[in-house]
Chain A
Amino acid sequence: MIVCIKFLGNLAELLGSEACLELNNCPSIAEVMWSLIKDKNVPVVPEHLIFLSGGKSVSPEDSICRFNELYVIRTLQGG
């Protein structure tokens, strides 16, 4: 299975519009995100990332195979 992530905004300028990974099984969202961040050297702080699907928040521990489309949101810290 291939999982692709589309970057928007500044990240797209930095990393191109898309990055894909080939997976053999169904790892968690967190595992996939760690791989992407590490492999592509994505300059984000993991703690600021949350995941949404169908407008609802999704646990990073959920299997990636459960979702057709997943939004990765970088939250801004207040204060």
Chain B
Amino acid sequence: MPYGFTGKFVEVDLSSSKVRVVDVRRDLYRKFLGGRGLGSWILWERLGEVWEGLDPYSPENLLIVLTGPLTGYIAGVRLAITGKSPQSGGTVGSTIASEVGLELKCSGYDGLIVSGKAKDPVYIFVHDDKVEVRDASKVWGKGIRETHKLLLRDVLPELRKTPRFGEPKEPAMIYIGPAGENLCRFAAIEGKYAHAAAYGSYGSVMGSKNLKAIVVKGTGPLPPVYDVVKLKELIYKAIELVPKKAPRLRIWGTGQGPWRYGRDLSSIPVRNWQEEYWVEKSYSQYDLEVYDWVKRYWADYGCPLCCMKVTVLHRNGETVITDAPDYELLAYEGSNLDVWDVRDIAYLIWCGEELGLDMINAGNVLGFVAELFERGILTKDDLGFEVKWGDVKAFERLLKMIANKEGIGKVLAEGTYRAALKIAEMKGLKPEEVLKYAVQAKGIGIGAHGIRSGLDYPPISYVTSVQGGDHQSVAMLPLDAPPIVNEVWASLADSAVICQFNMLGGLDLVFDALRAVTGWNISKEEWVNEDAKRILTLQRVLLLLGGPDVYWDPRVHDDNPPRFYEPLPSGPYKGKAGDREEVKKLKVQYFSELGWDELGIPTKETLSRLGLTELEPAVERVRKRLGI
């Protein structure tokens, strides 16, 4: 078995409650590493032939929870989750800061594959070689905080039956809230109260399987590594270097972002992206410090950066313990909704997370609704109440209706893209008359980074990304462009399964660590030209297969949301807008760099060169559907 891996996955079929341990082919680890890459391959191998017809909410879909070669070794632990996405119809490597990955590896597994559907609510408990499907009826319907507490109460006494000095017994866990249970198409998988694997909506995939949570405790060692001395050296280097390279992240987290993206770069969403600039009204992490909410730096396992902060706030009679809002959520529950008081923003985030919602996509939907209300497309009769900009109570009410699929919430729970189509139908409008207010890509609400000013994300970021609107994995030219959100590097972080912020210490650090753990001598060039292309090509094919309710046509859907072609109405970059001709040109260039044709369909030569010839029939199916 390659160094750094256990070589085994544990597979749980919830329909039969059967558990089996499966070996993973050695060559697949080198080809796809783990996490996003390996998960996509497993999905292809098992479901590729029926992909287009497969309902992501059917028992046949898989929920795959994966570690990667660097999980547990290098600073900042993460976990990757994938499956057929109910949002994009493709795959998303959705990651969360969670010790579940570490505990899985210490239990002897590189990942967990969940198939089938349980008759009644269950959770999966993994404790070394003991893997059980357990009753979760008492936590079904509960918010994430109560779920966390009740599950701990359930398993801790059992784990503490054999206490040992220096061996913490608290398990790691991930879980869903009511939004996931009710199959809201932007339900997240949550952990530790405030962390989320959001993009992809795998929370709703868990809900479709009646799976409330996954609880893991491993007591074994991590798998042996190739060069332990070098690895130790690199761990100390990362601990020293990463906080030095990103001192503001250590002090403020990404929550210091609104200053930069709103005022300096004109790329923050304001009122559903009608504007991207603000200056007179300020809000950011600094304000959180002013209110003395930040109680402690919050580090996930091994993390020297501590960009999260434990925060306590009091609102509406509730004492809320959460993490201080990060940039994306400050933007989406703040400026995007015309909410400018950080206490209101933090409260809205807390409400949504408690329900198990992806709060980027939730903010995207809420802004969309407020604009439709402003324009008279949605009315008080449709919504049951008025939804005006800045109305925190109305937004809170909508979040609950969405998570519980009540009233208009049933339509909005489909996410901005599908909701736009349904609202157009309801109102007797042409789809494009509503879609022009939907700021999304491939069914996924885009992250809080605009393209119009030309100072933040490049024009094709979301257009050609294999993960739609995911702001942490976007398309860039040249292929090896340095930003860590470039999908070439994001696919590395998500497949090695580490926090992207490790890359702030330099890409060499990550490649050196990969070498020290696995013994594989992967160079940056090799990653860009082979490994990343292999993973992105595989994801692209699955995205184009799509279905069963929505199919993407590259001629139509490989594009920015219409709003990005409207000139910015304010700020120093007033008048700037996306340029359709430039996007077309860059898109073709990007496809060409990846070895895809002008529509972004991988060529036979590329599939062959990347060792993906098995995908040829799937590519033919895509061509046939598109009539080309």
A interface, CB within 8 angstroms of B? 29-30, 33, 45-51, 60, 75, 77-79
Residues of B within 8 A of A29 (CB): 165
Q: Are A79 and B165 in contact (CB under 8 A)?
A: no
Q: Is B376 an interface residue (CB 8 A)?
A: no
Complex interface bits, B285-305 against A, C-beta within 8 A gives 1, otherwise 0: 000000000000011110100
Q: Are A47 and B169 in contact (CB under 8 A)?
A: yes
Complex: A29 Cα to B165 Cα, angstroms: 10
Q: Are A51 and B298 in contact (CB under 8 A)?
A: no
Q: Are B168 and A78 in contact (CB under 8 A)?
A: no
Q: Is B167 an interface residue (CB 8 A)?
A: yes
Q: Is B374 an interface residue (CB 8 A)?
A: no
Which listed residue (B163, B164, B167, B170) contacts A77, Cβ 8 A?
B170
Which listed residue (A49, A77, A78) contacts B165, Cβ 8 A?
A49
Q: Is B478 an interface residue (CB 8 A)?
A: no
Complex: A30 Cα to B165 Cα, angstroms: 7
Which listed residue (B160, B164, B301) contacts A79, Cβ 8 A?
B301
Residues of A within 8 A of B301 (CB): 78-79
Q: Are B299 and A46 in contact (CB under 8 A)?
A: no
CB distance from A31 to the nearest CB of B (A): 11
Q: Are B166 and A79 in contact (CB under 8 A)?
A: no
| Known contacts A78-B299, A78-B301; A60 and B164 CB within 8 A of each other | yes
Interface of B, helix, strand, loop or mixed by DSSP:
loop
Q: Name the CB-closest residue of B to A50.
A: B166
| Known contacts A79-B192, A79-B301; A33 and B170 CB within 8 A of each other | no
Q: Are A51 and B192 in contact (CB under 8 A)?
A: no
Complex: A70 Cα to B312 Cα, angstroms: 37
Q: Name the CB-closest residue of A to B172.
A: A79
Q: Is B99 an interface residue (CB 8 A)?
A: yes
Which listed residue (B165, B167, B168) contacts A33, Cβ 8 A?
B165
CB distance from A48 to the nearest CB of B (A): 7
Q: Are B163 and A47 in contact (CB under 8 A)?
A: yes
CB distance from A5 to the nearest CB of B (A): 14
Complex interface bits, B150-172 against A, C-beta within 8 A gives 1, otherwise 0: 00000000001001111111100
The 7 A-B residue pairs with the shortest CB-CB distance, nearest first, are A60-B165, A50-B166, A46-B163, A78-B299, A47-B168, A49-B165, A47-B169
Q: Are A50 and B165 in contact (CB under 8 A)?
A: yes
Interface residues of B in 121-178 (CB under 8 A from A): 160, 163-170
CB distance from A70 to the nearest CB of B (A): 12
Best-surrounded residue of B170, B298, B300 (most CB of chain A within 10 A): B170
Some 28 contacts from A to B, beta carbons below 8 A apart, are A29-B165, A30-B164, A30-B165, A45-B163, A46-B163, A46-B164, A47-B160, A47-B163, A47-B165, A47-B166, A47-B167, A47-B168, A48-B168, A49-B166, A50-B165, A50-B166, A51-B165, A51-B166, A60-B166, A75-B166, A77-B168, A77-B170, A78-B301, A78-B303, A79-B192, A79-B298, A79-B299, A79-B301
Interface residues of B in 69-118 (CB under 8 A from A): 99
Residues of A within 8 A of B192 (CB): 79
Residues of B within 8 A of A50 (CB): 165-166
CB distance from B315 to the nearest CB of A (A): 24
Residues of B within 8 A of A48 (CB): 168
Q: Are A78 and B167 in contact (CB under 8 A)?
A: no
Complex: A46 Cα to B164 Cα, angstroms: 6
Q: Name the CB-closest residue of A to B299.
A: A78
Residues of A within 8 A of B166 (CB): 47, 49-51, 60, 75
Complex: A51 Cα to B299 Cα, angstroms: 23
CB distance from A55 to the nearest CB of B (A): 16
Complex: A60 Cα to B167 Cα, angstroms: 11
Residues of A within 8 A of B99 (CB): 79
Best-surrounded residue of A45, A48, A78, A79 (most CB of chain B within 10 A): A79
CB distance from B472 to the nearest CB of A (A): 21
Complex: A75 Cα to B163 Cα, angstroms: 15
Residues of A within 8 A of B299 (CB): 78-79
Residues of B within 8 A of A79 (CB): 99, 192, 298-301
Residues of B within 8 A of A49 (CB): 165-166
Residues of B within 8 A of A60 (CB): 164-166
CB distance from A4 to the nearest CB of B (A): 19
Complex: A9 Cα to B171 Cα, angstroms: 28
Residues of B within 8 A of A33 (CB): 165
CB distance from A49 to the nearest CB of B (A): 5
Complex: A46 Cα to B300 Cα, angstroms: 22
Residues of A within 8 A of B160 (CB): 47
CB distance from B421 to the nearest CB of A (A): 40
Complex: A30 Cα to B99 Cα, angstroms: 27
Q: Name the CB-closest residue of B to A33.
A: B165
Complex: A50 Cα to B167 Cα, angstroms: 9
CB distance from A3 to the nearest CB of B (A): 16
Best-surrounded residue of A46, A50, A75 (most CB of chain B within 10 A): A46
Residues of A within 8 A of B164 (CB): 30, 46-47, 60
Residues of A within 8 A of B298 (CB): 78-79
Complex: A30 Cα to B303 Cα, angstroms: 30
Interface residues of B in 510-532 (CB under 8 A from A): none
Q: Name the CB-closest residue of A to B193.
A: A79
CB distance from A57 to the nearest CB of B (A): 8
Complex: A29 Cα to B192 Cα, angstroms: 33
Complex: A77 Cα to B300 Cα, angstroms: 10
Residues of A within 8 A of B165 (CB): 29-30, 33, 46-47, 49-51, 60
Residues of A within 8 A of B300 (CB): 78-79
Complex: A49 Cα to B301 Cα, angstroms: 17
Interface residues of B in 384-420 (CB under 8 A from A): none
